Structure 1
Amino acid sequence: MAAGSSDGTVAKALEALDLVAAFGRPVRFSDLLEHSPYPKATLYRLLQTLVSQGMLAYEADRGCYTMGIRLVRLAHVAWAQSSLAPIARPHLDRLSSEVGETVHLAQLDHAQVLYVDKRNAREPVHMYSQAGKVGPAYCTGVGKVMLAYLPDAQLPALLAQQSWHRFTDNTLTTPDALQAELATIRARGFAFDAEEHEPGIICVALPILSSRGGVLGALSVTSTTSRTSLDALEGLVPVISDIARTIAQEAETWRFPEEGAHPIRKKA
C-alpha cells in the first residue's frame, strides 16, 4: 500500500512504538532518531500522535518517552484474552514445584519467541528469558519445538526471518541445519536447547497443541550444565507432556484463538 495511506501511517506508528519499547527504558528523541528509518520530522509527528493517543507518555522533565498507560491497559487485556498465561498459571506452579527448575511458557510472535510466563528455579539462575521478553526461535527449545509443529507451508517464511546469529558454538546457523533438527524434534515429540542460545543453559521443551494439531505455545524446563544434563531433563518429558496436554485442553474450552478465531467461551 502506498505511503501516506491509513495502513501506511498505522504501520509507521507501530514501528515507532516498537522502537521505543526496544530500548526497555525511558528514551530520548535523539536516541530514537539515531535508530529510526524515518526523517526527524516524520518520527516526531509519529511520536506526538502516539503520545496524544495515550500509547506513549512524554516525561518533559527528563525529555524522555515511555510506554503509555493506555498501552499498559491494552496489554493487560491482550494478556488475559490472547495469552496462554492465565490458563496455564496453576499448571506452571505445579510443574515448578515438582521439578524445582526454571519453567517457561512461550508463544510464537511472528518469527520470534515471546515468553509469556516464567517460574524461577528453587536456586534461581540468571538467564536471558523473562516474561514479556522476545527471543530467537531458531536456537531456543521452545522456539524450535513450535517451529517443528507448524504446517509446512508456514515454515519457509518464518525461517527467512531468522537472524542466524551464532550465540554459541552449538547454535544452528543455517535453514538446512535447523530443518534437519526440526524433523528430529517432530519425530521424538520434544526439543532440546543444548547450549544453543546461552553457554551453560540447557532445556527440554514440548509443544502445546490444539486438538487439530495447531501450535498454541510451548512449555520448557530449563537448567544449567553445572547441575543437570540433557538426559536428566529428558526424564521429565512425561510430566511436562501431561501438563502441556492439560493446558491445551483448558485452552480448547476457552477456545484459545488459533488463526482467525476469537477468544470467547463456548456456550454450554
Structure 2
Amino acid sequence: MDSSSEASSMAQGLRIVRLVADREKWGRRLLGVSQLASELDMEQSRVSRLTQELCDLGLLERVERGPFRTGPRFFDLAASLNTGWVRESRTELEALVATLSLRSRVSVREAFRVILLRASSNDALPGGFVKPGMVTPIWCTGSGRALLWDHEQVAIQDLLKDVNFIGVGGPGAAHSALEVCELMDRDRARGFTLAAEEFEHGVYELALPIRNREGTILASLSVLGNRSEIEPRAGKIAKVLTESADRLGSRDHRRGDSTGGAGLAS
C-alpha cells in the first residue's frame, strides 16, 4: 500500500471512530456496518474492513455483531492526550478568543493532512463540521503549513509528490509543491504563516508552530477570521500567538515524540 492509500485509510478510520464516539456522547442510536457506510457515504465492504481493524486495535468494540461503540484503547488514548500542553491548550484558546476576538485552533500533522486537535468554543459549534478529528489539507491551510515550518524544499516536495492539487482549496491555494515551497519561504521571512483564502473563500488563517523545549514541533496554533480582522494587525496577532505557543510548548516534558503524544505525524 502506498503512502497516499495509507493516509486515506487513516482518515477514513478516524471518521468512523469520530462518528461512533459522537453518537455515544450525545446518546444517539449506535450503528452497525451498513448504517456507518450510509452515514459516511463509504463502501460497505471498506467500512467492514476498517471497523474490523479498529476493533483489533481496541479503538472500537462490537458485541455479537451488534452496533459499534468506542473501545478501551480509545479511552486510553484520550486520557494520554488530555495531559500537559494539550490539556492547557483549552485555556490558551479561550484566552486568544478574549484577546483577539478570533476563532482559534490547535492542530497536528498526519502525513500530508492536518487533524484538528482542539478548537475554541466560538469555532466548535454543536452540529457544525468543525470538531476534533476534522481533517484538512496541509498545503493550503495556515495550520498545515506551520507544521511544515522546519521542512526543507526537498522534504516538502517528497511529502506532496502524490497529492492532487486540482479542485482543492480556495482561490489562494497553491497548485503544486513548488508553489507551497514559495509560500513557505515568504512566511519564514516574516515569521508566521498566513493562508489568505487558501482553503475557504473569505477566510484568513494565521498560524505558528508549537515547539517543545528541545525545539521539536508538537503542533500548530492558529486563529481564523476575515481579511479585515487578520491582515491589518497580523504583526500583533503573531506576537500574541508566539507567547501562547511558547507557554504551551514549555509544558511538554516528553522527549523524542514529534507529536507531543498525538502519535500522528509521519
Q: TM-score, normalised to structure 1's length? A: 0.71
Could you tell me which residue of structure 2 aligns to residue 56 of structure 1?
60
Could you tell me which residue of structure 1 aligns to residue 99 of structure 2?
98
Could you tell me which amino acid in structure 2 is paired with residue 219 of structure 1?
Answer: L
Aligned residues: 241
Deviations, residues 45-84 of structure 1 (Å, cap 9, x unaligned): 7745755775334488xx8754423243133134236x84
Q: 1:256 to 1:243 in 2, by over 3 A?
A: farther
Deviations, residues 209-239 of structure 1 (Å, cap 9, x unaligned): 23443211111111124x6242234431111
1:92-171 equivalent positions in 2, closer than 5 A = 92-121=93-122, 129-150=130-151, 154-164=155-165, 165-171=167-173
Per the TM alignment, residue 243 of structure 1 is displaced from its structure 2 partner at its CA by 1.1
Q: 1:172 to 1:200 in 2, by over 3 A?
A: same
**Contact 1:256–1:262 at 8 Å: present in 2 too?**
no
Q: Secondary structure at 2:206's aligned position in 1?
A: strand
Q: In 2, distance between residues paired with 1:69 and 1:20?
A: 15
Per the TM alignment, residue 44 of structure 1 is displaced from its structure 2 partner at its CA by 5.1
Q: Secondary structure at 1:206's aligned position in 2?
A: strand
Worse-superposed segment, 233-242 or 197-206: 233-242
Could you tell me which residue of structure 2 aligns to residue 219 of structure 1?
221
Q: In 2, distance between residues paired with 1:145 and 1:22?
A: 26
Per the TM alignment, residue 159 of structure 1 is displaced from its structure 2 partner at its CA by 1.7
Q: 1:27 to 1:260 in 2, by over 3 A?
A: closer
Q: Secondary structure at 1:24's aligned position in 2?
A: helix
Q: 1:80 to 1:199 in 2, by over 3 A?
A: same
For the pair shown, which has the larger CA radius of gyration, 1 or 2? 1
Which of residues 195, 207, 210 is equivalent to 2:209?
207
Could you tell me which residue of structure 2 aligns to residue 258 of structure 1?
257
Deviations, residues 101-126 of structure 1 (Å, cap 9, x unaligned): 1111111122211111111449x8x9
Deviations, residues 162-203 of structure 1 (Å, cap 9, x unaligned): 442432222112111111001111222111121111112112
Worse-superposed segment, 136-145 or 69-78: 69-78
Could you tell me which residue of structure 2 aligns to residue 242 of structure 1?
243
Report 1 or 2 for greater relative contact order, CA contacts < 8 Å, sequence distance ≥ 6.
2
**Contact 1:20–1:27 at 8 Å: present in 2 too?**
no
Which of residues 1, 17, 21 is equivalent to 2:16?
21
Q: 1:19 to 1:174 in 2, by over 3 A?
A: same
**Contact 2:57–2:73 at 8 Å: present in 1 too?**
no
Could you tell me which amino acid in structure 2 is paired with residue 222 of structure 1?
Answer: L
Q: In 2, distance between residues paired with 1:133 and 1:51?
A: 21
Q: 1:133 to 1:166 in 2, by over 3 A?
A: closer
* 1:177 to 2:179 alignment: yes
Could you tell me which residue of structure 1 aligns to residue 27 of structure 2?
none
Q: Secondary structure at 1:104's aligned position in 2?
A: strand
Q: In 2, distance between residues paired with 1:134 and 1:32?
A: 18
Could you tell me which residue of structure 1 aligns to residue 24 of structure 2?
none
Q: In 2, distance between residues paired with 1:49 and 1:107?
A: 23
Could you tell me which residue of structure 1 aligns to residue 23 of structure 2?
none
